[in-house]
Amino acid sequence: AAGVIQSPRHLIKEKRETATLKCYPIPRHDTVYWYQQGPGQDPQFLISFYEKMQSDKGSIPDRFSAQQFSDYHSELNMSSLELGDSALYFCASSLFQGFNEQFFGPGTRLTVL
């Protein structure tokens, strides 16, 4: 069965650079969620989209932005990267928002040097 695809899987950036993470949800899933997980931490919800519209906003820094495109894939844009942005970034998708299980992608490990 198709799963959530995230690219790249690993990314190394310097401080103050920008990064773009991509997420391709499971086909027919209309909701995408972005999470940030630091070492030994729980996933922190950043932002979600339902039917290409932002549906919920969590602890996403102002330096980050995201969008969902017409084909339902989503991109997380991160600017002015800081050392503290180093983390595992997960994308998850679900069918309808709210009360359905979320299927997580394998994550993108971002390292900021």
Q: Which positions lie near other proteins, rule CB under 8 A?
A: 33, 35, 41-45, 48, 56, 58, 90, 92, 98-107
DSSP 49: E
The nearer residue to other proteins, 9 or 15, going by C-beta atoms, is 9
- Amino acid found at 17: E
Shortest Cβ distance from residue 71 to other proteins (Å)? 22
Are 32 and 49 in contact by the 8 Å Cβ rule? The answer is yes
Q: Where are the beta strands (DSSP E) in 1-113?
A: 5-7, 10-13, 19-24, 31-37, 44-50, 53-57, 64-68, 74-78, 87-94, 103-104, 108-112
Shortest Cβ distance from residue 105 to other proteins (Å)? 7
Shortest Cβ distance from residue 90 to other proteins (Å)? 6
The nearer residue to other proteins, 24 or 33, going by C-beta atoms, is 33
The nearer residue to other proteins, 85 or 107, going by C-beta atoms, is 107
